[in-house]
Amino acid sequence: MFKRVEFLKSVYRLEDLPLPEYPEIAILGRSNAGKSSFINAFLNQKKLAKVSSTPGFTQSLNFFLVDRKFYLVDLPGYGYAKVPKEVYENWQILIEGYLKSPRDFCLLFLIFDIRREPDELDQTLLKFISYLNMPYALLLNKIDMLSKREIEIHKEKFIKSLKIPKNREIFLISCKEKIGFEPIRAFLKKVLKLSI
Ligand SMILES: Nc1nc2c(ncn2[C@@H]2O[C@H](COP(=O)(O)OP(=O)(O)OP(=O)(O)O)[C@@H](O)[C@H]2O)c(=O)[nH]1
Ligand SMILES: [Mg+2]
């Protein structure tokens, strides 16, 4: 279990990124997939990251320092149609610049609403991540909304549509019900070589 979680800062411009003093895990995904909810639920916090049913809610990179050992970074979501063009371009510049900057990335969590069909934007994200050659794991969220059988069917759709390799970690979770976190914790332990 995590003992100490600190909100460090919100970043709107690449110049304001904190020093890469700790290994970093960034959470990427479509707007409304549950990135901020994941931070709260996984770290067992109530209102650390702001959650909203309004898509496009998180507009900055938000850095959380966990047990003074690693950063968990909440990113703004993509794919929200109502976002003005300038905001979307700013998103691209910020996220691309961040992911390409010389930091100590140890993992990306790509989070999806398991009920949604992956689309071209999701495929573009996967291509970009593969091109950067960064380690990533899939989090398929909101499993509380589906039956066991539906979960399996949807999972297979994601694997096929996003061309996920066989050995890639895929976690089935519900941030609402706090389901599926234990395997993620074990995985992080391995990735970060921590005793958490
Ligand atoms: N049923 C269900 N709803 C969830 C779950 N996780 C998140 N939600 C809901 O989904 C909505 C979006 O959650 P957020 O965590 O704000 O999503 P986000 O990915 O941070 O969105 P942006 O900040 O807009 O990019 C909220 O209404 C949450 O309550 C889940 O596991 N199950
Ligand atoms: Mg958010």
pLDDT in tens, 73-90: 999 888 876 677 777 777
Inform me whether the pLDDT recorded for 56 exceeds 80: no
Tokens (6 digits) for 101? 């900057």
CATH number, domain containing residue 123: 3.40.50.300
Which ligand places an atom closest to the C-alpha of 51? Answer: 1
Partners of 159 in the β-ladder? none
Structural domains of the chain, count: 1
Q: Is the CB of 141 under 6 A from ligand 1?
A: yes
pLDDT in tens, 59-74: 789 999 999 999 999 9
User: In which domain, by residue range, is 100 found?
Assistant: 5-192
Instruction: Determine the average pLDDT of the residues in 28-52.
Output: 86
Q: Whose CA is nearest to atom 14 of ligand 1?
A: 34
Question: Taking ligand 2, which is a single-atom ion, which protein residues have CB atoms under 5 Å away?
Answer: 35-36, 58
Q: Whose CA is nearest to atom 26 of ligand 1?
A: 53
Q: Is the CB of 23 under 6 A from ligand 1?
A: no
Instruction: Determine the average pLDDT of the residues in 144-169.
Output: 97
pLDDT, position 81: 66
pLDDT, position 31: 87
Which ligand places an atom closest to the C-alpha of 146? Answer: 1
DSSP for the chain reads: ----EEEEEEESSGGGPPP--S-EEEEEEBTTSSHHHHHHHHTT-SSSS---SSTT---SEEEEEETTTEEEEE---B--TTS-HHHHHHHHHHHHHHHHSS--EEEEEEEEETTSPP-HHHHHHHHHHHHHT--EEEEEE-GGGS-HHHHHHHHHHHHHHTT--TTS-EEE-BTTTTBSHHHHHHHHHHHHT---
Tokens (6 digits) for 141? 């969220």
For residue 53, name the pLDDT band (cuts at 50, 70, 90): low
pTM passes above 0.85? yes
pLDDT in tens, 91-111: 888 899 999 999 999 999 999
